[in-house]
């Protein structure tokens, strides 16, 4: 096969503005290079523009030259521009692939969002999909995870597009060969120290086909449940600018149990900012809805048996469920999903004038005019901060509208152990914050009301 119909592949991922502006991540490998060249044709036929983004992770000496080669390939193509992004700073000693992936997506999305580019295309293929499903299967994923990567998913404030999920790598390479276009090879694709490489080498064509058939079947179910969950969230949910979500729970029999599980997964994903949502089983639902829940998850749940993390990812504490970096609390038919303060990482050193994301939930700006700029850090308010709000700032919190679990997880500016500022509770000066979660609360085009103007798709503040 040497022809690929990019118009047919892009059609289900729309609608797109006229003329369209599309960003595409290109490493120079066959998959991403093929997608970039296909999209160049697609935008040209629609009088649009293509923004080619290539990332230098700083992990290999050859990376800079490879990025330059990508820029050279697209330089002669009309309506195309290329921009090289760099991952600076220290690199972790362990989990380098996962860290590089997170850094890459953050760099790509930040660049797009700052310039009003809504669509970011990435070149995951059918083989990538099969490998992902196999890895999730090995890790005990449920049916939502076994549906694989979605063709369209909002993340980091952009629409992440995967046009090639149904296309084989062989078809892409045949298309490139027919045009006399060479591609780059990444030697890390053969390093068996990485799980994905080991999975790739162990999959044959028949196994991949069965995994893709499973993903197609479960994907239809997941899409239906996510759409219904998004509608329910839009009708009954509220995202508070304090970084938590609340929703009026449906009564018994109003919704399917798996749809409710889908709702909880997406809500926790948005409030935790993690890469993947946690499992939601009948135990979690029965804890949250003890009088309403009288069933088991649909038969699709039995595709895989799984156990919750034995280290305590799911706990029951006084009527509260702790799961996936969140605290879930049901009070008189209203569910609250809070970020768990104990799951937030350590404090982030900053200086006056610093701005950026924090905890995958907030965009923060530190004032340039602070009297002392050394030794500053951003961290969760926590119990220590709450005590200082009362003792040092004289703030009365007993009847404050932000619930206690949400207060603990609010961002705060610290100088050593002294609280400098917490903007939501109007303590001190020097820090501005707005809600800008990595993941949207819904995935299907519905908007959930927020306490202040919606910022999920807005540009980064200047």
Query: Could you read off the pLDDT of 226-237 as tens digits, one per residue?
Result: 888 888 888 888
Q: How far is CA 165 from CA 9, 64, 153, 169, in A?
A: 9, 28, 13, 10
Residue 288 has pLDDT above 80, yes or no: no
**Spatial distance between the Cα atoms of 236 and 334, rounded to a whole number of angstroms:** 10
Residue 281: the pLDDT is 67
List beta partners, residue 327: 322, 338
**Average pLDDT over every residue of 327-339:** 85
Residue 297 has pLDDT above 50, yes or no: no
**Spatial distance between the Cα atoms of 186 and 63, rounded to a whole number of angstroms:** 10
**Spatial distance between the Cα atoms of 215 and 132, rounded to a whole number of angstroms:** 10
Tokens for 164? 């090639």
Residue 250: the pLDDT is 76
Query: Could you read off the pLDDT of 146-192 as tens digits, one per residue?
Result: 888 888 888 777 899 999 999 999 999 999 999 999 998 876 666 66
Strand order of the sheet with strand 80-86? 80-86, 49-56, 21-25, 119-121, 158-161, 152-155
Please count the other Cβ atoms lying within 10 Å of the Cβ belonging to residue 65.
Answer: 12
Give the class (CATH, top level) of 6-203.
Answer: alpha beta
CB 325 within 8 A of CB 393: no
All residues at 6 or more sequence positions from 417 whose CB lies less than 8 Å from its CB, including other chains: 384
Q: Closest Cα partner for 429 from 371, 362, 351, 356?
A: 371
∠ CA 67-72-73, rounded to 5°:
100
Query: Could you read off the pLDDT of 418-459 as tens digits, one per residue?
Result: 999 999 999 999 999 999 888 877 665 444 544 443 333 223
pTM here is 0.71
Residue 215: the pLDDT is 85
**Mean pLDDT, rounded, of the chain:** 81
Buried-state track 283-321, b at ≥16 Cβ within 10 A, e below 16: ebbebbbeebbeeebeebbebbeeebeeeeebeeeeebb
**245 phi and psi angles, rounded to 5 deg:** -125, 145
Rg of the chain (C-alpha set): 23
Q: Closest Cα partner for 266 from 308, 291, 293, 237?
A: 237
**Average pLDDT over every residue of 389-411:** 90
The residue ranking higher by pLDDT, 299 or 206, is 206
- Name the strand (E) or helix (H) holding 121: strand 119-121
Domain boundaries, the chain: 6-203, 242-342, 345-450
**Average pLDDT over every residue of 399-412:** 92
**Spatial distance between the Cα atoms of 214 and 208, rounded to a whole number of angstroms:** 10
How are beta strands 119-121 and 158-161 bridged, if at all?
parallel
């Amino acid at each position: 096969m040497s022809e690929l119909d990019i118009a047919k592949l892009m059609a289900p991922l729309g609608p797109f503005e006229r003329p369209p502006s599309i960003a595409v991540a290109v490493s120079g490998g066959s998959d991403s290079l093929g997608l970039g060249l296909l999209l160049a044709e697609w935008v040209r036929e629609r009088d649009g523009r293509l923004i080619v983004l290539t990332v230098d992770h700083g992990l290999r000496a050859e990376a800079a030259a490879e990025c330059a080669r990508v820029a050279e390939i697209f330089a002669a193509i009309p309506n195309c521009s290329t921009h090289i992004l760099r991952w600076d700073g220290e690199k972790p000693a362990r989990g380098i692939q996962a860290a590089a992936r997170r850094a890459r997506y953050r760099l790509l999305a930040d660049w797009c969002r700052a310039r009003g580019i809504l669509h970011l295309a990435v070149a995951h293929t059918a083989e990538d999909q099969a490998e992902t499903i196999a890895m999730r299967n090995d890790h005990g994923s449920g049916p939502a995870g076994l549906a694989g990567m979605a063709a369209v998913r909002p993340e980091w404030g952009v629409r992440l597009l995967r046009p090639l999920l149904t296309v084989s790598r062989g078809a892409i390479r045949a298309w490139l060969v027919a045009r006399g276009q060479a591609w780059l090879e990444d030697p890390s694709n053969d390093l068996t120290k990485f799980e994905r490489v080991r999975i790739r080498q162990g999959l044959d064509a028949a196994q991949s086909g069965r995994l893709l058939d499973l993903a197609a079947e479960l994907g239809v179910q997941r899409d239906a449940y996510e759409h219904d969950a998004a509608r329910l969230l839009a009708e009954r949910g509220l995202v508070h600018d304090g970084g938590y979500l609340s929703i009026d729970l449906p009564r018994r029999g109003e919704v399917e149990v798996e749809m409710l599980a889908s709702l909880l997964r997406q809500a926790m994903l948005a409030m935790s900012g993690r890469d993947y949502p946690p499992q939601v089983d009948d135990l979690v639902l029965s804890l949250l809805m003890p009088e309403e829940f009288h069933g088991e998850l649909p038969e699709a749940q039995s595709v895989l048996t799984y156990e919750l993390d034995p280290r305590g990812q799911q706990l029951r504490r006084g009527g509260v469920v702790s799961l996936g970096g969140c605290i879930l609390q049901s009070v008189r038919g209203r569910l609250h999903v809070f970020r768990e303060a104990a799951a937030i990482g350590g404090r982030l050193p900053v200086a006056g004038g610093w701005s950026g994301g924090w905890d995958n939930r907030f965009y923060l700006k530190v004032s340039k005019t602070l009297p002392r700029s050394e030794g500053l850090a951003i961290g969760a308010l926590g119990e220590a901060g709450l005590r200082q709000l009362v003792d040092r700032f004289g703030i009365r919190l007993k009847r404050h509208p932000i619930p206690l679990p949400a207060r603990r997880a609010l961002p705060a500016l610290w100088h050593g152990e002294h609280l400098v500022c917490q903007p939501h509770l109007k303590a001190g000066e020097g820090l501005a914050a707005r809600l800008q979660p990595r993941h949207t609360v819904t995935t299907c085009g519905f908007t959930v009301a927020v306490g202040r103007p919606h910022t999920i798709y807005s540009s980064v503040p200047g």
